[in-house]
Chain A
Amino acid sequence: MAPHDTPSRSAAIGARPSTREQASRIERDYYRRRSPLAGVRRWLGLAAVLAGGGWCAWAAVDARRHVAPGPVTAVHATWERDCNACHVPFSPIVDATFWSDEQSRAEGDAKCLPCHRVAAHHPRERNAEVGSCGSCHSDHRGRAADITRVADRTCTACHADLGAHRVAAADAPPLSTEAAWRIEGFDNERHPPFASLREDPGTLIFTHGRHMLPGQYLGAASLAAASTAIGDPPPRSRPLAYADLPVVDRARYLPPGTSLDAPVQLSCASCHQFGTALTEIDVREVGGRVAAASPGAYALPVDFQRHCAACHPLPYEGLPMADTTGRPADPRTGDAVDAVLASVGADVAVVPHGLDAAALRRFLEQTYLARGVTSDPALLLEPVVPRPLPAAATTNDAPTRGTAIRDKVDGARRFVRGQCAKCHTLEDVAVGDDRAAWFRALPSRVPDVWLTKARFDHQAHRQVDCRACHEAAYPERAAEALEAARSGQGVSVESDLVLIAGRESCVECHAPPHQDAETGRSVGGARHDCVECHGYHDRGGHVSPWPLRSVTADSTARPRGEGLAALRSRLLDFLATPSVSPAER
């Protein structure tokens, strides 16, 4: 071992420092100095606060971009930068939240009402359950959002148990069967059948099935089995041909390339027209609901002049009458019908459609009076016979021209009654002191719009065949209906059938996509939410402020001409005065 290599040195070199020695290496005031990491953290924190503050300042300047949850719908875009146009500060715009009460709802709705003047949904709804505008129509869902499409829940909240959500009143009528349903969606289990299709309110006597047959002909065999019940159409001896139609109507009904001798084949469009734009005359004639609907949504009302007169011209002369009903003498003879057919297309005098009893009488009287004057112009030159003294006896028993005219009028009255009775339900009406059985047709009451509680747009369903929803109107059902009528089962005539398919037909398409259990094909997919068909405000306008009416009901035809009034009064006076023989003048 070298003198310098002592055991103490080795031990000293190899000794590890003690923890005390290690601790003594640490500066005692190290904690007074911030670590670099902490320093960076502090500066980053300051920067983050400044950045956050800057962002908030930006948000205050551009609230539309920062505060609004999304763009408003296109129709509200004008006010997008003015939040206070719709929002009341510190007042909830929706209901389902705290501090929402009648006052907050009223304040919020007051922002909407200046532009959206809407009526309440129903007179018996509970005010406390009526939500604010914003509760149902939530905006800020983008420019293309349709904020009128509300969730079903907003409707079924009440309609799932309507009885519990109506204002209780002693005079409140009971809920209808349909209204009492637990309506929770649109399917056969959760939605009631369409109430307005329950029964036909109309009084018209009309058979769709027969009119859809070629030539409207039930066949020769039906002649033998024809019913004579009032309201049944008289049988034909042959089909109606295009040649039988008036010349002016042939172009409308005759398909190109079809012979004039071919039987007339009507289609749905022959009578049910869907105007893409209502003409001025249409607007005057249709009800408010149809006029207000989008073009093509509803069929224009069937108009006698446009859709019926070509085959049913309403002559007031022509057939011998056998009874007071004005029906042909023997419906089993083809001659009587042929005579009617002969009048179709011929230039015969017709009664204007839609006259009431008094107007019909006036028309007939004026017609025959005018004929009388026309055939004998000298009649006008005859002096007026002075009225005899009250006590003087009238010895002239000879028939007067007035009597002849009266007979003519009476005959025409009975004939026209028979014509009207084919399609209308009649009731006797007294006209002045005339004891004859004048009549009037009851209002047809055929609804312009059948689905009174919902919207329906035929234009949107143009890809669907008419038969899909109106199967009952086709000839195959006509025979069934007649058979049912004869056997006394169910409805008496097809006229009482509602030829519109109801809920079951709609549910086939307006349902979630699924596979039909019977056919296995994919069905459904069309929208089936409540607002697809129903409205809310003012019950969606379904109950039209105008009474439902058709063009041909309740309309009053004007007299032929005001200019004839003076002549009429003179001639009536003339008729009232018994003619005096030349010897008495």
Chain B
Amino acid sequence: MIVGGSTWHRDRRWIVGTALVAVLAVAAYVIEWRDLGRLPGGSSRTGFVCGVIGGLIILFELLLWPRRRVRSWRIGSAQSWLRAHVWLGLLAVPLVILHARLLFIGGWLNVALVVLFLVVIASGIWGLALQQFLPRMLLEQVPAETIREQIDHVAAVQCHDLERLVRALCEPGGVHASDGHADEPGVEAAFDEGDHAVVTGYRSLTGIQGRVLESVPVYARIPGTAALSRRFFTDIRPYLLQGAAGGSRMASPVDARRVLSGLSEIAPAEAGDLIERIAAACETRRQFDLQARIHGWLHGWLLVHVPLSFALGVLLAVHVPLALWYW
């Protein structure tokens, strides 16, 4: 959720409301503190009210999960829920702290509850902070963005397309056996079994998923491209498939540029377009890697926030009756 921007007027309302309630709670707490002559605890009037409101807020926060899971629930928009989730969650902080007698509490259950709550809040604030600039970074630096879970698949498809192009245009480099190539135009190329028969750039795709038979104009191989072919299969292809995780030097833009410059030097001029295509594919793969990293930051905090909030809910469910029992 981006705070500010076009939705600033909505966020402003929440900020004002949250601040107002927090100030009122603190004022009431200070007044009761003066009256009692000691720090009011959770069973005092102010502490009790803060605890009840804080608990209800925590309950509401937990409801975000089923709200997102069951998308048919049209109880407010998802954005409104998220906005309420964020600001009410922040409001819960002073309320819970007041309820917990400014954190001067005892009992392991209470301490665990407060610790969990603070960690959940901290992780949420961290996630909110990340959401203010990482999406823009993604937008600006990853124009080739795709679905995160499809990165490997898309990269594989891309690599396959490029591989077919290299096989079609380059002399065999001894790394992969050639797959029969006609020297005359008009002859249909042989297709490998199971290949996704899309050779980008040859013709428009129909968008049909699956194996497609297509006529492939046959071009003669470019002489003097054996080294290029070899380099493609040894260095570039693994990078296109595995990305930076493979440890390839192509992951570094500087090294990749050096490699491709070297290819330009050893390959004939006719292979210039092919080399550019390879460079573009490497750049796409690099963007995919960046996208994966950004995605990890953008969503990794949820591995802390969500599970701990479940644990928080369980402890809260036990804390309420116990606290009322030994009031």
**Interface residue ranges, A against B (CB under 8 Å):** 2-6, 8-18, 20-22, 24-28, 30, 33, 35-37, 40-41, 44-45, 47-49, 51-53, 55-56, 59-60, 63, 65-70, 83, 87, 89-94, 96-98, 138, 140, 151-154
B167 to chain A, nearest CB (A): 13
Q: Are B48 and A97 in contact (CB-based, < 8 A)?
A: yes
B49 to chain A, nearest CB (A): 9
Other-chain residue from B105, B153, B202, B220 in contact with A25 (beta carbon distance below 8 A): B153
B236 to chain A, nearest CB (A): 15
Q: Are B45 and A13 in contact (CB-based, < 8 A)?
A: no
Other-chain residue from A16, A60, A96 in contact with B40 (beta carbon distance below 8 A): A96
Q: Are A90 and B36 in contact (CB-based, < 8 A)?
A: no
B66 to chain A, nearest CB (A): 13
Encode contact with A along B258-298: 1 for CB under 8 Å, 0 otherwise.
Answer: 00000000000010011011001000000000000000100
Given the interface contacts A41-B306, A98-B48, does A52 sit within 8 Å of B326 by beta carbon? no
Q: Does B308 contact A (CB under 8 A)?
A: yes
Q: Is the interface of B mostly helix, strand, loop or mixed?
A: helix
Q: Are A69 and B327 in contact (CB-based, < 8 A)?
A: no
For the complex, what is the distance from the CA of A25 to the CA of B154, rounded to whole Å? 6
Other-chain residue from B202, B277, B306 in contact with A44 (beta carbon distance below 8 A): B306
Q: Are A35 and B106 in contact (CB-based, < 8 A)?
A: no
Q: Are B219 and A9 in contact (CB-based, < 8 A)?
A: yes
Q: Are B154 and A13 in contact (CB-based, < 8 A)?
A: no
A184 to chain B, nearest CB (A): 12
Q: Which residues of B contact A44 (CB under 8 A)?
A: 303, 306-307
Q: Which residues of A contact B308 (CB under 8 A)?
A: 48
Given the interface contacts A24-B205, A97-B327, A154-B37, does A48 sit within 8 Å of B310 by beta carbon? yes
Counted as pairs of residues, one from A and one from B, with CB atoms less than 8 Å apart, the total is: 176
Q: Are A96 and B299 in contact (CB-based, < 8 A)?
A: no
B42 to chain A, nearest CB (A): 9
Q: Does B221 contact A (CB under 8 A)?
A: yes
Q: Are B303 and A83 in contact (CB-based, < 8 A)?
A: no
Q: Does B5 contact A (CB under 8 A)?
A: no
Q: Which residues of B contact A10 (CB under 8 A)?
A: 273
For the complex, what is the distance from the CA of A379 to the CA of B43, rounded to whole Å? 91
Q: Are A4 and B108 in contact (CB-based, < 8 A)?
A: no
Q: Are A45 and B306 in contact (CB-based, < 8 A)?
A: yes
Q: Are B324 and A90 in contact (CB-based, < 8 A)?
A: yes
Q: Which residues of A contact B165 (CB under 8 A)?
A: 13
Q: Are A13 and B274 in contact (CB-based, < 8 A)?
A: yes
Q: Which partner residue on chain B sits nearest A49 by CB separation?
A: B310
Q: Which residues of B contact A65 (CB under 8 A)?
A: 107-108
B301 to chain A, nearest CB (A): 11
Given A30-B147, A153-B36, list of 7 further CB < 8 A pairs?
A: A11-B201, A13-B169, A26-B150, A27-B150, A30-B150, A56-B314, A151-B37
Q: Which residues of B contact A69 (CB under 8 A)?
A: 41, 105-107, 110
Other-chain residue from B144, B201, B270 in contact with A15 (beta carbon distance below 8 A): B201
Q: Does B158 contact A (CB under 8 A)?
A: yes
For the complex, what is the distance from the CA of A373 to the CA of B217, rounded to whole Å? 165
B263 to chain A, nearest CB (A): 14
Q: Are A24 and B209 in contact (CB-based, < 8 A)?
A: yes
Given the interface contacts A52-B315, A152-B37, does A4 sit within 8 Å of B220 by beta carbon? yes
For the complex, what is the distance from the CA of A509 to the CA of B108, rounded to whole Å? 41
Other-chain residue from A4, A16, A53 in contact with B280 (beta carbon distance below 8 A): A16
Q: Are A37 and B303 in contact (CB-based, < 8 A)?
A: yes
Encode contact with A along B134-158: 1 for CB under 8 Å, 0 otherwise.
Answer: 0000000000101111100110011
Q: Are B107 and A67 in contact (CB-based, < 8 A)?
A: yes
Q: Does B200 contact A (CB under 8 A)?
A: yes
Q: Which residues of B contact A4 (CB under 8 A)?
A: 219-222
Given the interface contacts A24-B209, A67-B322, A68-B106, does A52 sit within 8 Å of B306 by beta carbon? no
Q: Are B45 and A37 in contact (CB-based, < 8 A)?
A: no
Q: Which residues of B contact A47 (CB under 8 A)?
A: 307
Q: Are A89 and B325 in contact (CB-based, < 8 A)?
A: yes
Q: Which residues of A contact B318 (CB under 8 A)?
A: 56, 59-60
Encode contact with A along B146-179: 1 for CB under 8 Å, 0 otherwise.
Answer: 1111100110011000000100010000000000
Q: Are B107 and A13 in contact (CB-based, < 8 A)?
A: no
Other-chain residue from A13, A21, A83, A138 in contact with B277 (beta carbon distance below 8 A): A13
For the complex, what is the distance from the CA of A48 to the CA of B307, rounded to whole Å? 5
